[in-house]
């Protein structure tokens, strides 16, 4: 076909896509009416996972699965906004990796509420001023984030989804590399990029600020300045991405939880997080893992933290594969409860995948 014929064909396909998108939206709005009448949640992570998995399995190419997921994320976000607009609280400010994680989970058509602390995110969701919250829980380089884990102990909110994103640190500046005199960022990006900075900007002054987004804002307005921040921050503050991927380790990811007021249903590929309170004594760890070992349940993480309620008491946070409604998981948790002063299921949710 000629160029004009190919363009005509694309135009015709675009009209078909538009018609089908609106038809899909109409059916989704009807589903929204049913959900509303039953008082059900408009965000159903297990259904979204099923859609993504189906598209992945049916995709013949040439579009890669990641592109298909990105397209459908925005389709679902736009249609969900027709059903019921969602307000998403996240650890701000905007244009940080927490903001990026929230956008990847809920799409551009949701309303976003940046907050100062993890505690603020929990509080806004608890008080129903936000529908869901997105909080960081673990980094590959720095381990678990204590503020998030500790807040779960006092909250009735549930983990309804998780997301792991590859954190790529970028050097942003409107001047050449040899013209950079100072670099702005937070402590963690400086640590993650220590070797690169030492090799490429050994004489630059490193200045800590409140967020990577704030670093980008400052650097965009000051000659001789650079920032370590996200590409999203570069777009917002009109500053060039001078060098991409300056982190020292390629294994640089952050895990986020989506918190809400309801439980996610089983998908067949789930994860459960529980916290149990115990008295520190010999053999405690063995008692905790025994019920899971007997049931053949895979534990992906176990971490102890001092209890804030009483000295010498500890709480264990446990990640396991499976959903708490599955009989063998429920039985193992029942067995575990016999060894615990308290046992709390923080949530069962679709098992997350690492996104680039």
Cα distance between residue 324 and residue 264, in whole Å: 10
User: Which whole-number Å values give the CA distances from 156 to 40, 140, 259, 265, 277, in the listed order?
Assistant: 18, 27, 10, 17, 16
Q: Are 336 and 330 in contact (CB under 8 A)?
A: no
Q: Are 276 and 289 in contact (CB under 8 A)?
A: no
- Residue tagged active-site, from 254, 267, 292, 316: 254
Query: Token pair 């309303």 is at which residue?
Result: 111
User: Which whole-number Å values give the CA distances from 328 to 182, 240, 264, 288, in the listed order?
Assistant: 56, 53, 18, 16
256 as an active site residue: the answer is yes
Q: Are 93 and 217 in contact (CB under 8 A)?
A: no
Cα distance between residue 16 and residue 235, in whole Å: 32
User: Which whole-number Å values give the CA distances from 12 to 82, 106, 249, 291, in the listed order?
Assistant: 26, 30, 46, 59
Tokens standing for 180? 């950079």
Q: Are 216 and 239 in contact (CB under 8 A)?
A: yes
166 forms beta bridges with 253
Backbone angles phi, psi at 238, to 5 degrees: 55, 55
254 as an active site residue: the answer is yes
103: Cα within 13 Å, side-chain hemisphere: 13
- Residue tagged active-site, from 256, 257, 316, 349: 256
Cα distance between residue 31 and residue 85, in whole Å: 15
Q: Are 136 and 254 in contact (CB under 8 A)?
A: yes
Q: Which residue numbers are catalytic? A: 254, 256
């Amino acid at each position: 076909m000629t160029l004009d014929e190919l363009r005509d064909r694309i135009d015709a396909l675009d009209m078909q896509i538009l018609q089908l998108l609106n038809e899909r939206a109409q059916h989704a709005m009807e589903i929204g009416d049913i959900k509303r009448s039953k008082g059900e949640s408009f965000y159903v992570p297990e259904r979204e996972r099923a859609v993504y998995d189906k598209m992945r399995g049916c995709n013949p190419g040439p579009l890669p699965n990641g592109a298909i997921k990105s397209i459908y994320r925005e389709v679902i976000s736009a249609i969900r906004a027709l059903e019921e607009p969602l307000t998403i609280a996240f650890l701000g400010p905007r244009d940080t990796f927490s903001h990026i994680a929230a956008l990847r989970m809920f799409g551009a058509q949701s309303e976003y509420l940046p907050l100062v602390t993890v505690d603020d995110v929990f509080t806004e969701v608890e008080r129903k001023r936000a529908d869901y919250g997105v909080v960081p829980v673990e980094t590959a380089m720095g381990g678990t984030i204590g503020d998030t884990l500790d807040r779960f102990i006092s909250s009735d909110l549930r983990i309804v989804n998780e997301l792991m994103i590859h954190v790529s640190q970028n050097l942003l500046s409107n001047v050449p590399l040899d013209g950079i005199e100072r670099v702005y960022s937070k402590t963690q990006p400086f640590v993650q990029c220590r070797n690169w900075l030492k090799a490429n900007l050994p004489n630059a002054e490193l200045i800590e600020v409140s967020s990577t987004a704030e670093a980008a804002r400052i650097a965009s307005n000051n000659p001789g300045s650079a920032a370590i921040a996200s590409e999203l921050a570069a777009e917002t503050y009109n500053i060039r991405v001078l060098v991409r991927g300056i982190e020292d380790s390629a294994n640089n990811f952050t895990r986020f939880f989506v918190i809400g007021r309801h439980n996610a249903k089983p998908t067949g590929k789930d994860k459960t997080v529980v916290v149990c309170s115990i008295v520190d004594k010999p053999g405690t760890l063995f008692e905790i893992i025994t019920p899971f070992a007997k049931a053949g349940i895979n534990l992906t993480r176990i971490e102890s933290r001092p209890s804030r309620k009483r000295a010498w008491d500890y709480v264990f946070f446990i990640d396991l594969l499976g959903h708490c409604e599955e009989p063998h998981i429920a039985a193992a948790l029942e067995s575990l409860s016999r060894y615990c002063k308290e046992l709390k299921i923080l949530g069962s949710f679709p098992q997350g995948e690492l996104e680039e």
